Amino acid sequence: MFTVSTALEVCWGTSWLISLDLIHVMETDILPYVVFLIVPVLGRMSDPDNDVRLIATTAFATLVKLVPLEAGIPDPVGLPAELLEGRATERKFISQMLDIHKVEPFELPVAIKATLRSYQQEGVNWLAFLNKFKLHGILCDGEF
């Protein structure tokens, strides 16, 4: 059974592995797999441990820069069909995460006696997107 320190070491080690070994050692060979690494790294960016969050944030900053390069390369030879499907799902997620206009519209589950303005609907869509993928976020109004 994992102890708290063992679980912390696993989180820290996994983030460190992705950050340094996979990204920097594999260089361009990592491109076909970048989309598979972003979601796990995002999850570690909310870790209670500051060191894990710092390493995950550094890894994410590096990975997200590689996304445009990944989109233009052919699928790796021998990649199983399940991973190809998963890759398409991850690409859609990343596309939506990077461009709010690609986030799917969310319909409020309760009736309200108002019409949301476009920016309000975009905010609701964004919060629903974050919730769907168990991500954290804050929506703020620019007016004081």
Tokens linked to 4: 């708290």
Q: What is the predicted pLDDT for the residue at 4? A: 46
User: What value does the mean pLDDT take over residues 91-110?
Assistant: 90
53 sits in the region (left: phi over 0; alpha: psi -120 to 50; else beta) called alpha
User: What value does the mean pLDDT take over residues 64-82?
Assistant: 83
Tokens linked to 98: 């990077």
84 burial class (0-12, 13-18, 19+ CB within 10 angstroms)?
Answer: exposed
Condensed to tens digits (0 to 9), the pLDDT of residues 26-44 reads: 677 778 888 888 888 888 8
Asked whether the beta carbons of 23 and 59 are under 8 A apart, the reply is yes
Identify the residue with better confidence: 16 or 32.
32
Q: Where are the chain's structural domains? A: 4-98, 102-144
pLDDT reading at 1 higher than 50: no
pLDDT reading at 23 higher than 70: no
Identify the residue with better confidence: 53 or 102.
102
In degrees rounded to 5, what are phi and psi of residue 7? -65, -40
How much is the mean pLDDT over the chain? 80
Distances in Å between the alpha carbon of 108 and those of 115, 130, 140? 11, 15, 19
pTM of the entire predicted model: 0.67
User: What value does the mean pLDDT take over residues 11-18?
Assistant: 56
**Residue found under tokens 């590096």:** 62
